[in-house]
Amino acid sequence: MIEKIIERATGRSINQLNQIQTSHMTSTPAQQFNPFTMAEKIPIAKSYTYKHFEKDMTEVEKNIGKGSDFAKNTYLHQSYKKLNYEEANHNFQTTLTKDRVSGAYARMTCDYLGIILALVPVFVAATVVLRDRRSQSQLVIQTKRISSFKLQGTRFLATVILILLPVIVFSFLPAFQSVYVAQKYQHTGSLFLFYQYILGWLLPTIVAVVGISFLVTTLFNGLVSVLFQLGLWLLSLLVNGRQVVGSIGLNLIPRFNAVGSRELFEGIFTELVVNRVFWFALGVICFLISCVIFDLKRRGRIHYGHPR
């Protein structure tokens, strides 16, 4: 089936295509071999349209199974288009004017920090919740007159701030670099714009991870939250796969691993806002549920997640 598709797409037989491939590999040093340049040597039949291509890829995916490289989302993210000077210059000017350089660098920074923040905060949050039991001060704290919501809320807010502050500090370097690059091209960067991205993009991730960790740790009184978050983190990375630019959905880790691409970002902006609001709200809801469970345990209604 694949052989027929290839021959239909190229208008050449498999033997002819093998000869083209062999000729290219023998004429190109091994260290300079590039599959993309080899693909350019392969002709495309004039009668073979993009609709034919989509139909063939759908047929291949049905036979191989979902999640392969022949899925539409996958091959679209693997495709590339050569730009002429006018198009490249337009993209460059867009980065300087609309993004003010800072926005382009901020998206890349958020992409990398988002991967880290989808996992690391769970260790801090779990430690905060379990510290009372380890220090054997749990009974003393529970007999205080402070409300359960206020006690848990103080811990939750302190944990979020504790994680957010290093993020702000560590992002100083790329933030000032973006301003420097903008000045080099006689434009003005914006630290305010850079940190709008940092807060709007990364704060929901922190709140979500801390909120989920508070809930799971309060419910099970153990380090189950670490294992749970590790699983969620791995799942989020696997769902993105190689789609590292513009992959959003409801994934905990939105990906935008590129400097620039403003037009693509504008196309997914609404989806990104929905994603960030969803995870921020989920983190807050998980925290509120953890307050209820903590209060029930404090009152003796439940013990280690089981009714008395």
Mean pLDDT, contiguous 10-residue spans, the chain (308 residues): 88 84 72 62 84 91 83 76 86 90 93 94 85 67 75 92 95 93 91 94 96 90 84 86 81 89 90 96 96 83 50
Across the chain, what does the average pLDDT equal?
Answer: 85
Structural domain boundaries, residue 248: 89-307
For residues 185 and 149, membership in a common domain is answered with yes
For residues 233 and 268, membership in a common domain is answered with yes
Residue 138 in tokens: 């749990």
Q: Per the domain annotation, does 84 fall within a domain?
A: no
For residues 10 and 106, membership in a common domain is answered with no
Task: Give the per-residue pLDDT at 308.
Answer: 39
Residues 6+ apart with CB under 8 A from 224: 216, 217
Q: Per the domain annotation, does 11 fall within a domain?
A: yes
CA atoms within 13 A on the CB side of 281: 7
Q: Identify the domain boundary among 25, 51, 78.
A: 78
**How many domains is the chain partitioned into structurally?**
2
Q: Per the domain annotation, does 83 fall within a domain?
A: no
Task: Give the per-residue pLDDT at 307.
Answer: 42
For residues 160 and 266, membership in a common domain is answered with yes
Q: How would you label 90-101 residue by residue, b for 16+ Cβ within 10 Å and e otherwise?
A: eeeebbbeebbb
Task: Give the per-residue pLDDT at 144.
Answer: 67
Q: Identify the domain boundary among 78, 103, 123.
A: 78
Q: How would you label 143-165 residue by residue, b for 16+ Cβ within 10 Å and e otherwise?
A: eeeeebeebbeebbeebbeebbe
Cα–Cα dist 148/216, whole Å? 17
